[in-house]
Amino acid sequence: MDFSKKLYFLLSKNKLTQEEFAKKINSRRQVVGRWLAGTKPSAISIAKIAEALNTTPEELLSEKEAGISEMDLLKRENELLKKENALLRKEIRLSKK
């Protein structure tokens, strides 16, 4: 399993949106989005990600499966995207006030 899929799985397992996770590691949602799209994070970011998700850098970077089916991963990704979309809509409404 590549890094981006593993990150999706771990965010799903921890029920975190991109925004929530970005705040947890003092980053931006757009950076997390790039990682999920396939961009590799720096070694420092890998360490922060691993700590925040209660895993190790080695586990994050290993090719070993994380124990979830592709369909379950896609379903959870869809749920997270819906939650993220709702948060963005709320942010837009608040910025218009």
Domain ranges of the chain: 3-96
CATH of domain 3-96: 1.10.260.40
Chain segment 4-21, per-residue pLDDT in tens? 989 998 998 899 999 999
**Is 14 in contact with 49 (CB distance < 8 Å)?**
no
Q: Are 50 and 60 in contact (CB under 8 A)?
A: yes
**Could you read off the pLDDT of 39-80 as tens digits, one per residue?**
999 999 999 999 999 988 988 888 765 555 666 767 777 888
Planar angle of CA 65, 6, 16, nearest 5 degrees = 135
Put simply, whether the predicted model's pTM sits higher than 0.85 gets the answer no
